[in-house]
Amino acid sequence: MSGTATTKLPQSAASLSAYSESDIPIYTTVASYREWRRKAFMENRSVGFVPTMGALHEGHLDLVRKSLVENDLTVLSIFVNPAQFSPHEDLETYPRTLEHDLKLLAQQQHLVVSNTPNTHSTSTITGQPTHIRRPSAVFLPSVSEMYPHGISQDASLQRGTFVEVKGYADEQMEGKSRPGFFRGVATVVTKLFNVIQPTNAYFGQKDIQQALLLRRMVTDLLLSHPSAQNLHIVPTARDPLDNLALSSRNAYLSPSGRKVAPTLYNALKAAEHCWFLEGKSKKECVDAAREVIHRVRNTEMGTLDGGGMEVEIKLDYIEMNDAEDFEVLEDEVTLQSRGEDASTVILSGAMWVNGTRLIDNLLLGDLGHRK
Ligand code: AMP
């Protein structure tokens, strides 16, 4: 299959040596990818899809590994989507590390134990036939491939077709702080689904509003590749030492900023404790989270590091929303008043560490739990 891959990388991409080192076929055009996908359809092979903006870390790789386990073939896309960045955001400086990304991808593998004779080799552990799954393809389109008529970051200048998930985007959580962001995300993911035609798609809980909104979009648009049941949400990967949610934007943090960054997670944990163990109201629990951030902000660590460098942390929001309809919980609601049949609550927040905006969330309850 690798013979059909396009070897010409877009201007912004890394050198060809990165491509040859990783050995994973890279498709930079819709047409060349579609040819590969057509063969996978003909061979009845399942395709798992992990959409990313690159600068890969263990969080992305968790999604890749899950896809390798659950699918015959795994495709990862790398595309920094201009439509989801507003004009004042970090589109130009967003980390781009293609060479490293391809190396990391090449290291991912899953050993499949099979009962069917005639497959590859024999496992020394089980004595059964085995084969190894590795990422099968990378989709690395240019901006003009994804937006043939061009794309402005200024929404008022945009023309053509865009996808909006009304009631789930601009009034709540991330959407409230970043107007137009989810319109950009829903539009590019629709395009990517149309191209990749995945059997299964994998998204991180780290961006819970995005994942649930896309599931709603897939249901509303009657998409089949993937179907809503096949859009999977994978738990947030964290730093094992201090639980900071892994993120490509963590690369922006100074050493002192990195030290205070887990404050957001600690604040959410305080609210979770307040909700489940103290049985207090939403308002009291959100206040408990804010208090954690204010305490750190007012200590020396929050404003100055050891060398006298300033670290400024600023809360953007802490909120609690119903995971079904994204409605903000009323201030006086408690775990008990919601009742046992209530749906899961998204406890989420965003915090600035100097110029870097960090997000995180915890699910209070189980996403499978329906009203
Ligand atoms: P991004 O490259 O930031 O657009 O992320 C691509 C995918 O990786 C999205 O589905 C994210 O939710 C997911 N992701 C990013 N960070 C993490 C993390 N720490 N744990 C799990 N998934 C993540």
Q: Give the model confidence (pLDDT) of 46-69 as tens digits.
A: 999 999 999 999 999 999 999 999
| CB 349 within 8 Å of CB 360 | yes
Q: Is 138 in the pocket of ligand 1 (CB under 6 A)?
A: no
What confidence score (pLDDT) does residue 258 get?
96
Across 9-30, average pLDDT? 64
Q: Which helix (H) or strand (E) holds 175?
A: helix 173-177
Across 73-79, average pLDDT? 98
Give the separation between CA 14 and CA 32, rounded to whole angstroms: 20
Q: Which residues are catalytic?
A: 60
Going by pLDDT thresholds of 50, 70 and 90, the confidence category of residue 116 is low
Q: Specify the range with the lowest mean pLDDT, choosing from 124-133, 165-174, 237-246, 271-280.
A: 124-133
Pocket test for ligand 1, best of 61, 94, 206 (most atoms within 8 A of CB): 206
Give the separation between CA 198 and CA 225, rounded to whole angstroms: 5
Q: Is the pLDDT of residue 163 over 90?
A: yes
Q: What is the percent of the chain with per-residue pLDDT over 70, rounded to a whole number?
A: 86
What confidence score (pLDDT) does residue 16 get?
39
Which atom of ligand 1 sits closest to the CA of residue 63?
22
| CB 261 within 8 Å of CB 233 | no
Q: Kindly report, residue by residue over 310-347, the tens digit of the pLDDT.
A: 799 999 999 999 999 999 999 999 999 998 888 899 99
Give me the helices (H) in 94-155, please.
Answer: 98-106, 143-146
Q: Give 236 Cα–ligand 1 centroid separation in angstroms.
A: 8
Write the CB contacts of 248 (distance below 8 Å, at least 6 apart in sequence): 53, 54, 55, 56, 57, 94, 95
Q: Is 356 in the pocket of ligand 1 (CB under 6 A)?
A: no
What confidence score (pLDDT) does residue 18 get?
45
Write the CB contacts of 366 (distance below 8 Å, at least 6 apart in sequence): 344
Q: Kindly report, residue by residue over 342-370, the tens digit of the pLDDT.
A: 889 999 999 999 999 999 999 999 886 54
Q: Give 306 Cα–ligand 1 centroid separation in angstroms.
A: 32
Helices 30-42, 181-196: inter-axial angle, 10-degree rounding = 50
Pocket test for ligand 1, best of 52, 53, 346, 361 (most atoms within 8 A of CB): 52
CA 187 remoteness from chain centre: 15
Owner of token pair 């937006």: 147
Q: Is the pLDDT of residue 129 over 60?
A: no
Q: Give 185 Cα–ligand 1 centroid separation in angstroms.
A: 13
Half-sphere exposure in the Cβ direction for 228 (13 Å, CA): 11
Q: Specify the range with the lowest mean pLDDT, choosing from 112-126, 215-229, 292-306.
A: 112-126
What confidence score (pLDDT) does residue 1 get?
37
Across 240-260, average pLDDT? 96
Q: Is 184 in the pocket of ligand 1 (CB under 6 A)?
A: no
Q: Supply the mean pLDDT for the chain.
A: 90
Give the separation between CA 59 and CA 235, rounded to whole angstroms: 9
Going by pLDDT thresholds of 50, 70 and 90, the confidence category of residue 145 is very high
Supply the residue whose CA is at minimum distance from atom 11 of ligand 1: 204
Across 157-174, average pLDDT? 95
| CB 309 within 8 Å of CB 300 | no
What confidence score (pLDDT) does residue 362 get?
98
Q: Is the pLDDT of residue 100 over 80?
A: yes
Give the separation between CA 217 and CA 93, rounded to whole angstroms: 30
What confidence score (pLDDT) does residue 342 get?
87
What confidence score (pLDDT) does residue 126 get?
60
